[in-house]
Structure 1
Amino acid sequence: MSYDSVRLSREGEVATLTLAHPKGAFGPATWREVPLALAEVEGARVLVVRGERAFSVGLDVAATAPLIAPALGDPERFKTVVDEMHAAIEGLAALPVPVIAAIDGWCIGAGLELAAACDLRLCSASARFSLPEVKLGITADLGGLQRLPHLIGRGRAAHLALTGEPIDAATAERWGLVTEVLPDADALYARAHALAAHLATLPPRALEGTKRTLQDGLSHAESLAAAVQWNARHMTAEALKLSAVSRQPSASESHR
């Protein structure tokens, strides 16, 4: 299918979702089209999410206001509008395959909330991150306040959300929001696709089980039990064979 605000491409077992809104923002078309594009990801082993220019400068307020304004003061109607946005972001988080966010330039508001729903985040040195909703009189409601404390700690999430001030790429890496900072956009996308290609070689059921266990939000004991149950259902004899023949550390390595 062709879309107005996103593009989906495929190279082998790696799919790429490009956020291509002309303003670099998320408008109504984005929220409609992301779930449709995600439905086409079936069969891919990894998904890379990137922007066409900046990753995202957040919500296209001008385009979205006509939908939100009539719902103000009516919680049920407002929820219906926001549920479409939730469906896009939660659909991304729910994919059974690893999702890598490759972030260049600004990653603001809804863009940061979408990036937080990905499994891995890499960025370029020029990337900037912010959750500025409080400056606009809004409480972030697309998952950022729920996911960011788990990624960077409650205190740092509170700093982002309560001040609305941006952080740079080095700070994002130091805080754990991203795991790698690359020199520029070209290096970023090359690294993201190399990482995706590596993940695509790994057993898909093991990746899915690991992703679900990391996401489940259960207590320690419940999470351990869920991982055990997943392996009981999906671990194969081939996996055990691979484990048995894996290289053991040398004597010198074992003493490091």
Structure 2
Amino acid sequence: MELTTLDYRVQGPVAEVTLCRAAELNTMNDAFWEEVPAVFARIEADTSIRAVIIAATGRHFSAGLDLNWASTLLAAVGEPGRARERFRREVLRMQEAFSVIDRCRVPVIAVVQGGCIGGGVDLVTACDMRLGVEGCYFSIQEVNLAIVADVGTLQRLPHLLPHGLVRELAYTGRKFTAAEARQWGFLNRIDEDHEAAMAGARAIAGEIAAKSPLAITGIKQVLNHGRDHTIAEGLEYVALWNAAMLQGEDVPRALAAQIARETANFPDLNG
């Protein structure tokens, strides 16, 4: 697939996915919802990849939905029941574009500059962590368009921020500043410019890539399972995971490196 809304490159064990419609404020058009799952399918298939960075070109990370395209969804024609059923399938398609990020085998780091609005918030809440550029902000813009946000923000954000704050942001659509986001842990860090934030993301990605890929994918699976289940279910899941996955060479390799005060090298997962 030829990409028109994203740039994709792999540098060693780190993949970088970049929103590249800067002139359009990286708004999300019809092609975007096809290209994100396609790119993450490539990532899933390439077991040499151990971390992903999602970034954007231009002044703003994303202004959310391309409103010209979105208006065609709202202007459904034909028999009402069938028109509404088609709309539902479109929403599910859009949800899946961010769910593939949430489910991605490896950690995903978002780098945010400028405005991260509407669908941009849906996207970054599906990532494992977020790094911000000084002055960036977030807005659950859908309420200002008389829409209930429906592509992941209202489902994932309550696991990242206190419920009262989530409700305030969702009900008002106000700007959630970088300083607030850092205070509440939504941003892991704030850098003075985009270059510094990208350098920070690459440093974190490189550190992750040096760990056992079997352990990293296990940590992500267990964290996501625990988020979506009870504590008891999560404890049972991690017990089963480790019973199944700790039989290989990575643990002895890591222990030997610790004892020798050396850095362990871990092979990629099987392709």
TM-score, with normalisation over the residues of structure 2? Answer: 0.86
Give the Å deviation of 1:186. 0.8
After TM superposition, the runs of 4+ consecutive aligned structure 1 residues lying more than 2 A away are 71-75, 240-247
Asked whether the equivalents of residues 129 and 167 of structure 1 are also in contact (C-alpha less than 8 Å), the reply is yes
RMSD (Å) for aligned C-alpha atoms: 1.7
Relative to structure 1, the CA distance from residue 225 to residue 125 in structure 2 (aligned partners, 3 Å threshold; closer, same or farther) is: same
Relative to structure 1, the CA distance from residue 162 to residue 32 in structure 2 (aligned partners, 3 Å threshold; closer, same or farther) is: same
Asked whether the equivalents of residues 212 and 250 of structure 2 are also in contact (C-alpha less than 8 Å), the reply is no
Residue 250 of structure 1: aligned partner: none
How far, CA to CA, are the matches of 2:84 and 2:256 in structure 1? 56
Asked whether the equivalents of residues 115 and 136 of structure 2 are also in contact (C-alpha less than 8 Å), the reply is yes
Q: Are 1:228 and 2:233 an aligned pair?
A: no
1:16-95 to 2 correspondences below 5 Å: 16-21=16-21, 22-23=23-24, 24-41=26-43, 42-43=45-46, 44-53=49-58, 54-70=60-76, 74-95=83-104
1:240-251 to 2 correspondences below 5 Å: 240=252, 242-243=254-255, 246=258
- How many aligned positions are there? 247
User: Given the alignment, which residue of 171, 174, 196 partners 1:165?
Assistant: 174
How far, CA to CA, are the matches of 1:228 and 1:123 in structure 2? 35
Residue 201 of structure 1: aligned partner: 210
Q: Are 1:146 and 2:155 an aligned pair?
A: yes
In the TM superposition, what whole-angstrom CA distance separates every residue of 1:169-189 from its partner, at most 9, and x where no partner exists? 111011111111111111001
User: Given the alignment, which residue of 236, 239, 251 partners 1:239?
Assistant: 251
Asked whether the equivalents of residues 90 and 117 of structure 1 are also in contact (C-alpha less than 8 Å), the reply is yes
Asked whether the equivalents of residues 126 and 184 of structure 1 are also in contact (C-alpha less than 8 Å), the reply is no
Matched letter for residue 51 of structure 2: V
Asked whether the equivalents of residues 53 and 205 of structure 2 are also in contact (C-alpha less than 8 Å), the reply is yes
Matched letter for residue 37 of structure 1: V
1:113-132 to 2 correspondences below 5 Å: 113-132=122-141
Residue 178 of structure 1: aligned partner: 187
Structure 2: stretches of 5+ with no match in the other structure: 260-271
Asked whether the equivalents of residues 68 and 81 of structure 1 are also in contact (C-alpha less than 8 Å), the reply is no
Give the Å deviation of 1:68. 3.3
Relative to structure 1, the CA distance from residue 225 to residue 20 in structure 2 (aligned partners, 3 Å threshold; closer, same or farther) is: same
Asked whether the equivalents of residues 57 and 109 of structure 1 are also in contact (C-alpha less than 8 Å), the reply is yes
How far, CA to CA, are the matches of 1:197 and 1:237 in structure 2? 21
Asked whether the equivalents of residues 98 and 119 of structure 1 are also in contact (C-alpha less than 8 Å), the reply is yes
Q: Could you tell me the percent identity over the aligned residues?
A: 36
How far, CA to CA, are the matches of 1:238 and 1:52 in structure 2? 38
Asked whether the equivalents of residues 51 and 103 of structure 1 are also in contact (C-alpha less than 8 Å), the reply is yes
Matched letter for residue 232 of structure 2: A
Give the Å deviation of 1:126. 1.9
Structure 1: stretches of 5+ with no match in the other structure: 248-256
SS in 2 for 1:55: coil
How far, CA to CA, are the matches of 1:39 and 1:245 in structure 2? 33
TM-score, with normalisation over the residues of structure 1? Answer: 0.91
How far, CA to CA, are the matches of 1:215 and 1:161 in structure 2? 23
In the TM superposition, what whole-angstrom CA distance separates every residue of 1:57-78 from its partner, at most 9, and x where no partner exists? 1111112211332078744221
Q: Are 1:218 and 2:229 an aligned pair?
A: yes
Give the Å deviation of 1:154. 1.0
